Structures are given as structure tokens and as C-alpha cells.
């Protein structure tokens, strides 16, 4: 988004411009003395046009669960997330660090890790050991950072990348066979879900990846959510399936312009209950409602940041052209 100038009959006029689907959109801001008064409305209009344009494309996809308001909210989330990244690079960096910390602590806590958010921060940011905590718990949190560093480089989800993430999440737990599919039966505690026999895991995982590759015409949030539910039902590894599955889910979300979906102790009950229900009923697609709610919570946080800093964004845009 930028301001351009045009000479018309000897006068200079300003326009707020951007590109939507490869086409230029241009909104008149009038003469120099009118720019400050008009730019906020023009800024809002361009963002609405972007969201509506992407929403219309999304509506052409196969939608199973999410309604129009939810789909539009997801488009605004991506726009605001992009604004935060583009206009406040240092703030975005600290935002991502805080986001990852909350995600990493939450994802391990779901599996029983007892480190608090502050303790996880010391481990991730300072490499500090925590008195009174098991070395295994500290290593679990450290490994989340290793997996995230690898995740940044992953653009395609396949069996190789899934095994790479698992190998990092389970680094140092050699008895759990990091990066290797299980070769023994496994049971999900207090669940009606029965994962497939170990000899069927390679076949089931190949089928899951094939399903993902053929789902290109469907809504991405719904596909990624369904993938997660299917993956967790297979439970392809001896341990670390939840952490690996949530990291894979977030790789897909982030590669598609979304922030991380944070699953933690606060929403653990809903997460586990819905995951089991959709797996038992073979209605995996319904899990997308839970992921939407996770993203909507992030959307509220990011929207508040953008609203509080909108004046600075507009000033940065104006300064590019007026000074």
C-alpha cells in the first residue's frame, strides 16, 4: 500500500494505491492538504476490498463447516497480520517470539509438561535449567524451539518433513525412536479411538499425504484442521504425536498467511473432546470449527494491535509521499 502523485491541469493530486488479485486499486485522496483527512477511510476501504475479494475466491471452494462471517473474519485476520508484519517489523519480531513461547509452552502443557509460561521463557530465551523440574520437561520445551527453527524452512508437508519435525521434537529421547514410525501397538489414554496396527501405519500415512495433495480446491483452514484430526487418529509415532501434529498444523497455517493456532491448557478440554468425537464419528472436517475459534482469538488480539497503532501506520504511508 502506497501513495502516488498525479499532475492534473497543473495541480498535484494524491492517491492511495494497492494491488488486489494483480489489479491496481486506486482511491483519490485529493490535494496535499486533504490527504490526512481522507487517508483513514481510503485505508479501510482498500482493506475491505482485499478481504471481500479473497472471500469471494474462498466461496468458490468446497466449504463444509465455516459460515460466511467466519470465512470473512479469517480474511481480515490475514490482512491485519500482514499489516503488523509490514509496518512494524521490530514489533512483529517480538510478537512472533511471544506467540511462539505461548504456543510451545501450551503444546507441551497439553501433554502434561508442568513448566509455567515464565519457566518456559527462561528455557527458550536463556537456555536456563529450572530448579525442581525434570530434565525431560526442560528438553521437551527446548525441542519445540528446534522444531520451529526447522519449520520455517518447510514448504511442503510430506512424510519426510513430518518425520523431520518428529525427530526434533523427540531429540534426546532415543527410546521413543525419533523420526521413525512406530512398530508396536499404541493406545490413547481414556479414549474410544483405536489407532491402526503398526504394520498399517506406513500405508495410512501415505494415504493421508495423498489425500492432502488432492485437496487443493477446498478451503485451506478446513483442510489443515481435517488433516490434523486424521493424523492424530493414525498416531504414527510411539510418542510425541500431539506435539508433532500441532507443529505440522501450524506450518500449514503459517505458510498460508495465518498466525499460529495456540492450543494450551485453557482450551485443552475442548481440543481433546472434539478431536475424539470427530475421529469416532469419522467426521474429521468438523474439527475446523475448533481451529477457527483458535484463530479468531488471535484475530482479536491482532486487530486490537492494528487499531491501537493505525495512526502510526497512516503516518508511515503519508511520510513516504509527502516528505
50 and 95 co-located in one domain: no
Asked if residue 179 belongs to a domain, the reply is: yes
Task: Find all residues with CB under 8 Å of 224, minimum gap 6, and list them.
Answer: 249, 252, 253, 256, 291
Count the domains in the chain: 2
Strands (DSSP E) contained in 48-127 are none
Mean pLDDT by 10 residues, the chain (323 residues): 88 90 88 91 94 88 91 96 95 96 97 96 92 95 97 95 98 96 92 94 98 86 96 97 98 96 95 96 95 96 96 89 63
**Grid coordinates standing for 185?**
501397538
Report the distance separating Cα 174 and Cα 183, nearest Å: 14
| CA distances in angstroms from 155 to 6, 255, 285, listed in the order given | 41, 7, 23
111 and 36 co-located in one domain: no
Q: Is 15 helix (H, G, I), strand (E, B) or coil?
A: strand
Residue entry with cell 528438553: 139
Tell me which residue range forms the domain holding 86: 68-310
73 and 54 co-located in one domain: no
51 and 171 co-located in one domain: no
> Largest alpha-carbon pair distance within the chain?
80
95 and 119 co-located in one domain: yes
- H/E element, 21: none
State the pLDDT at residue 177: 96
35 and 153 co-located in one domain: no
Asked if residue 131 belongs to a domain, the reply is: yes
92 and 184 co-located in one domain: yes
State the pLDDT at residue 128: 86
State the pLDDT at residue 119: 96
49 and 102 co-located in one domain: no
Asked if residue 316 belongs to a domain, the reply is: no
Instruction: Tell me if 249 sits within 8 A of 228, measured CB to CB.
Output: yes
Beta bridge partners of 15: 4, 28
157 and 228 co-located in one domain: yes
Asked if residue 319 belongs to a domain, the reply is: no
Task: Find all residues with CB under 8 Å of 268, minimum gap 6, and list them.
Answer: 109, 110
**Grid coordinates standing for 241?**
504425536
* Domain closes at, from 31, 59, 87: 59
Report the distance separating Cα 258 and Cα 15, nearest Å: 29
Q: Is 267 helix (H, G, I), strand (E, B) or coil?
A: coil
Asked if residue 226 belongs to a domain, the reply is: yes
State the pLDDT at residue 188: 87
Residue 171's CATH number: 1.10.3290.10
255 and 123 co-located in one domain: yes
The distance from CA 282 to its chain's CA centroid, rounded to whole angstroms, is 24
State the pLDDT at residue 22: 80
157 and 303 co-located in one domain: yes
Strands (DSSP E) contained in the chain are 2-8, 11-20, 23-30
- H/E element, 60: none
State the pLDDT at residue 323: 58
Question: How open is the CA angle 15-19-23, to the nearest 5 degrees?
Answer: 105
State the pLDDT at residue 245: 98
Amino acid at each position: 500500500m502506497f501513495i502516488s502523485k498525479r499532475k492534473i491541469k497543473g495541480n498535484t493530486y494524491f492517491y492511495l494505491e494497492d494491488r488486489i488479485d494483480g489489479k491496481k486499486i486506486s482511491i483519490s485522496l485529493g490535494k496535499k492538504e486533504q490527504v490526512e483527512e481522507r487517508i483513514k477511510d481510503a485505508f479501510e476501504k482498500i482493506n475491505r476490498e482485499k478481504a471481500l475479494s479473497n472471500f469471494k475466491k474462498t466461496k468458490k471452494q468446497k466449504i463444509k463447516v465455516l459460515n460466511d462471517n467466519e470465512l470473512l473474519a479469517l480474511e481480515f485476520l490475514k490482512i491485519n497480520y500482514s499489516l503488523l508484519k509490514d509496518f512494524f517489523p521490530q514489533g512483529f519480531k517480538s510478537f512472533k517470539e511471544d506467540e511462539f513461547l505461548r504456543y510451545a509452552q501450551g503444546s507441551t502443557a497439553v501433554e502434561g509438561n508442568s513448566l509455567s509460561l515464565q519457566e518456559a521463557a527462561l528455557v527458550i530465551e536463556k537456555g536456563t535449567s529450572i530448579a525442581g523440574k525434570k530434565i525431560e520437561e526442560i528438553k521437551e520445551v527446548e525441542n519445540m524451539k528446534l522444531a520451529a527453527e526447522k519449520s520455517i524452512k518447510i514448504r511442503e508437508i510430506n512424510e519426510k518433513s513430518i518425520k523431520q519435525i518428529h525427530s526434533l521434537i523427540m531429540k534426546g529421547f532415543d527410546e521413543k525412536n525419533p523420526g521413525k514410525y512406530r512398530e508396536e501397538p499404541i493406545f490413547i489414554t481414556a479414549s474410544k479411538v483405536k489407532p491402526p496396527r503398526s504394520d498399517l501405519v506406513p500405508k495410512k500415512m501415505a494415504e493421508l499425504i495423498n489425500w492432502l495433495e488432492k485437496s487443493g480446491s477446498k478451503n485451506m483452514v478446513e483442510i489443515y484442521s481435517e488433516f490434523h484430526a486424521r493424523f492424530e487418529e493414525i498416531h504414527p509415532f510411539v510418542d510425541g504425536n500431539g506435539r508433532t501434529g500441532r507443529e505440522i498444523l501450524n506450518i500449514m497455517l503459517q505458510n498460508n498467511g495465518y498466525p499460529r493456532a495456540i492450543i494450551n491448557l485453557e482450551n485443552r478440554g475442548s481440543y481433546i473432546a472434539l478431536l475424539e468425537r470427530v475421529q469416532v464419528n469419522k467426521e474429521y472436517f468438523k474439527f475446523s470449527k475448533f481451529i477457527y475459534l483458535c484463530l479468531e482469538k488471535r484475530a482479536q488480539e491482532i486487530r486490537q494491535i492494528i487499531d491501537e497503532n493505525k495512526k502510526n501506520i497512516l503516518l508511515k504511508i503519508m511520510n513516504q509521499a509527502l516528505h
